[in-house]
Amino acid sequence: MDTDTKIPQHIAIIMDGNGRWAEQHKVARAKGHEQGGATVQRVIDLCIEKGVPWLTLYAFSTENWGRSKIEVNYLMKMLEKFLKERLPEMQAKNVRLHAIGELDMLPPKCRRQLDTSIAETAGNTALNVVLALSYGSRQEITAAARRVAAMVQRGELQAEEITPDLLSSQLYTASMPDPDLMIRTSGEMRISNYLLWQLSYAELWVTDVLWPDFGRDDFDAALAEYAKRNRRYGKR
Ligand code: IPE
Ligand code: IPE
Ligand code: MG
């Protein structure tokens, strides 16, 4: 099959390795995160170029709140700054921003900037960028189960009517397609509480390259590998 026709419609990325990059370069972890921010812009541009319509980026996990206060504060400041500074570019490039996660946990200034960026890009159509922020998949699924249980309790729904589609409709990702390809940088072979439900049939691709070093060649390699995969969905 023509590889061009096998462009993933949704790529989900675990952007890992900023700390190791900083260690390698003997600089502060903050510098690694800053370089990681530059990679985000690079990958957004690559998705637009290749015609990938959805990109979900794991930017901060529920568990990442457990890092030092200094690192958490730095990451939140960086996020706010990134959202503010990149907004004109998002507009110019026709990028629509979304966010998934426990957004109420974000510092108020950061949350306001996020809401502004989401609202102002709502009409854009070239690429959907979903930021997973304060995101944990088990928490997401638990919250969805609670909402479904409440519906049953109120008599709006019979237990037998609970289907995978119904549960999907209660996740943060309700209106989004499932990822076709999940990329993790920095070599760890794990999911780290990321999109457990949504990645059911995603193709996985892990590279040892650290996120700040992730570039065009790595992205191309992931797409080429994806194009070769035979997605069987349990069938023969
Ligand atoms: C990913 O890089 C960024 C976040 C999790 C916010 P890390 O900070 O996890 O980098 P390593 O894993 O320590 O190298
Ligand atoms: C996953 O990376 C979270 C993000 C990339 C935001 P971590 O560095 O937090 O994951 P673990 O600790 O290696 O599982
Ligand atoms: Mg890490």
Confidence of residue 117 (pLDDT cuts 50, 70, 90): very high
For 196-234, the pLDDT digits (tens) are 999 999 999 999 999 999 999 999 999 999 999 999 999
Confidence of residue 236 (pLDDT cuts 50, 70, 90): confident
Question: In the chain, what are the domain boundaries?
Answer: 10-136+178-228
For residue 117, give Cα distances in angstroms to 93, 113, 131, 216, 219: 14, 6, 12, 26, 26
- How far is ligand 3, taken at its centre, from the CA of residue 16, in Å? 5
The reported pTM is: 0.97
The Cα 138–Cα 32 span in angstroms is: 28
- Pick 10-136+178-228's CATH classification: 3.40.50.720, 3.40.1180.10, 3.30.1540.10, 2.40.160.40: 3.40.1180.10
Q: Where are the alpha helices (DSSP H) in the chain?
A: 18-24, 29-50, 69-92, 108-120, 137-153, 164-168, 216-228
- How far is ligand 3, taken at its centre, from the CA of residue 180, in Å? 23
- How far is ligand 1, taken at its centre, from the CA of residue 64, in Å? 9
Q: Catalytic one among 45, 64, 115, 178?
A: 64
For 3-24, the pLDDT digits (tens) are 456 999 999 999 999 999 999 9
Question: Residue 68: how many CB atoms within 10 A of its CB?
Answer: 9
Task: Determine whether the shortest distance from the Cβ of 40 to ligand 1 is under 6 A.
Answer: no
Judge whether 133 and 60 are in contact, CB under 8 Å: yes
Ligand 2 nearest atom to the CA of residue 14, by list position: 5
